[in-house]
Amino acid sequence: MGGADIDWERIRPYGRPASRSNAFEELSSILIRNGAVDWPTGARLQRFGNPDGGREGRGVLPNGEVWAWQAKYLFAFDASAAGQVDSSVKRVLETEPGLTRFYVTMPIDLPAGDTDTRPSAQTRWDGKAVEWKALAAQRGMQVEFVLLGAHELVSALTMPRNEGRARYWFGADILTDQWQRRRLEESLRKAGRRYTPQVHVEVDTVQALHAVGRSTLYVERWRVALAGLREARRWGWRSPRSDEVFDSALARCAEALDTADTTLESMIRALGSGASLPDVDQDLSAALASVAEVDDLLRQHCLTEGRYYVGDAVLRRGVATTR
Helix-strand-coil split of the chain, %, nearest 5? 55, 10, 40
Which CATH fold would you assign to the domain 8-170?
A: Trna Endonuclease; Chain: A, domain 1 (3.40.1350)
Whether residue 51 is preceded by a cis peptide bond, meaning omega within 30 degrees of 0, is yes
pTM greater than 0.85: no
pLDDT for res 252: 87
pLDDT for res 249: 83
**CA–CA separation, 4 and 184 (whole Å):** 19
pLDDT for res 315: 45
162 in helix, strand or coil?
helix
Q: Are 177 and 160 in contact (CB under 8 A)?
A: yes
pLDDT for res 163: 81
pLDDT for res 64: 96
pLDDT along the chain (323 residues), means of 10: 74 94 97 96 95 94 98 96 96 97 98 92 97 98 98 92 89 69 71 62 60 74 86 72 73 89 89 81 89 81 62 44 39
Amino acid identity at 314: V
Strands (E), the chain: 44-47, 57-60, 66-71, 99-105, 144-148
Domain boundaries, the chain: 8-170, 214-302
